[in-house]
Amino acid sequence: MSAPAASSERASESVQQAGAEHVEPLRVGLLGHGTVGSAFARLLAERSEAIAARTGRRPQVEAILTRSSGSFEEVLDGSEVVVELIGGLEPARTWVLEAMSAGRHVITANKQLLCEHGEELFDVAHSNGVALRFEAAVAGVVPVIRVLTESLASLDVDRIHGIVNGTTNFVLSAMERGASYEQALAEAQASGFAEADPSEDVSGRDAAAKMAILARLAFRTPVKLADVPYEGIERLQSDDLQYARELGLGLKLIGTAERIGDGLSVRVHPAFLYGGHPLASVTGSFNAVTVEAEAITEITLSGPGAGGRATASAVLGDLVSVIESGRGAGRVPAAAPLRLLEDTESPFYLHVEVADKRGVLVAVAAILDRWGASIKSVLQRGLGDNARLVMVTHPLSEARLRAAVEEIGQLELVRSPPRAIRVIEEEFT
């Protein structure tokens, strides 16, 4: 028994030696050395031997540019692959374009850049025959870009739903446990899950940029941030979450990109989910994306959406992929782009505070009926002289719902502006 083991060890040593002779360095230029950039440099140093054994190329960081050190020319001259981890539009756009025009493969985690200048970047990557990889730009380490551009590339995607912002998911999870919005946000900041200035996250803007990127890839249609209506979580109240729980609903900030006929709707807003939806159980700072297509029904991917080391591992995965294939998510064909839609149908949760008088429910229901909204479920709670009506409608267009809400708000018996939140009805149980 010992002889074969010894000979297999020798064989493996000689394979390693033979491999080592053929290992060539791969020079990586790093733009940015902040949270993700420094974590990437550390992870690369830790993993370079393993990558060399697997690919025959040993990646090493040759040059680093920050605000206070290095130069773009040094990074360009010293690299075959440029990794952009600066963030923002400029100078990132100029440097990424120059690097690709000079024949360098580029890896970036920059959602703003891809969202605003995606077509230009894909075209320049394609015309220079270089890879442009950006797995870390959406949902951190969750490999949704690869799944859309490779695993599911042959399918017609019908719909994507995503929890693509960890800060807001953390805040909503805390509100479901009874915290107010302000308490939940303070807890997120204290735990490092929200920035000192959380406005990009809580307004829904960060999620909208990520959904624009996913929509572009899944539906091969150019979508920019300006095309994505978004609504954040700032005005949500914890009692909405408590009432909704009685109706079997949980609240998330959901990004949606869906094909409707020959149109495409991309949007971000708070939405209630029934317990059977795969995103209903995603709590805390995790991100998750569901992709629906006729052939696959639905798949869900979930994992950490941010953090230096997790994000750096997605960047490093892109680097291995570039080494192995030499190419990446190149130009996304826009041969038959879909028409972008502004209004879509959905069921709505509606919360109305009214005087506790006879006929008020009938008056509210009559307005909803006039605007084409029928009621699926309703809760009524007494509050002294007032009462609270909480209901879920059957699907109707947002424009009709808003018109009905405005009219209900003008009823003499209504005590405060009604609140409306979308409901996602699908369940995959």
Ligand X SMILES: NC(=O)c1ccc[n+]([C@@H]2O[C@H](COP(=O)([O-])OP(=O)(O)OC[C@H]3O[C@@H](n4cnc5c(N)ncnc54)[C@H](OP(=O)(O)O)[C@@H]3O)[C@@H](O)[C@H]2O)c1
Contact positions toward ligand X, by CB under 6 A?
32-37, 65-68, 85-87, 91, 109-111, 136, 140, 306-307, 311
Smaller CB separation from ligand X, 207 or 244: 207
Smaller CB separation from ligand X, 85 or 179: 85
Q: Please identify the residue of the shown chain whose CB is closest to the bound ligand X.
A: 34
CA distances from 375 to 245, 246, 343, 347, 425 (A): 18, 16, 20, 9, 14
Look up residue 189 and give its two tokens: 């900041």
Smaller CB separation from ligand X, 33 or 351: 33
Smaller CB separation from ligand X, 305 or 418: 305
Smaller CB separation from ligand X, 179 or 306: 306
Smaller CB separation from ligand X, 110 or 221: 110
Q: With left for phi above 0 and alpha for psi between -120 and 50, is residue 308 left, alpha or beta?
A: alpha
Smaller CB separation from ligand X, 250 or 304: 304
d(CA 321, CA 329): 10
Q: Which amino acid is at 227?
A: D
CA distances from 13 to 2, 41, 53 (A): 17, 29, 12
Is 252 annotated as catalytic?
Answer: no
User: Choosing from 111, 210, 252, 376, which is the catalytic residue?
Assistant: 210
Smaller CB separation from ligand X, 139 or 332: 139
HEC-encoded secondary structure of the chain = CHHHHHHHHHHHHHHHHHHHHHCEEEEEEEECCCHHHHHHHHHHHHHHHHHHHHHCEEEEEEEEECCCCCCHHHHHHCCCEEEECCCCCCCHHHHHHHHHHCCCEEEECCHHHHHHHHHHHHHHHHHHCCCEECHHHCCCCCCHHHHHHHHCCCCCEEEEEEECCHHHHHHHHHHHCCCCHHHHHHHHHHCCCCCCCCHHHHCCHHHHHHHHHHHHHHHCCCCCHHHCCECCCCCCCHHHHHHHHHCCEEEEEEEEEEEECCEEEEEEEEEEEECCCHHHHCCCCEEEEEEEECCCEEEEEEEECCCHHHHHHHHHHHHHHHHHHCCCCCCCCCCCCCEECCCCEECEEEEEEEECCCCHHHHHHHHHHHCCCCEEEEEEEEECCEEEEEEEECCEEHHHHHHHHHHHHCCCCECCCCEEEEEECCCCC
Look up residue 51 and give its two tokens: 């990558």
Q: How far is the CB of 75 from ligand X (least distance, A)?
A: 10
Q: How many CB atoms lie within 10 A of CB 107?
A: 28
**Residues noted as catalytic:** 210
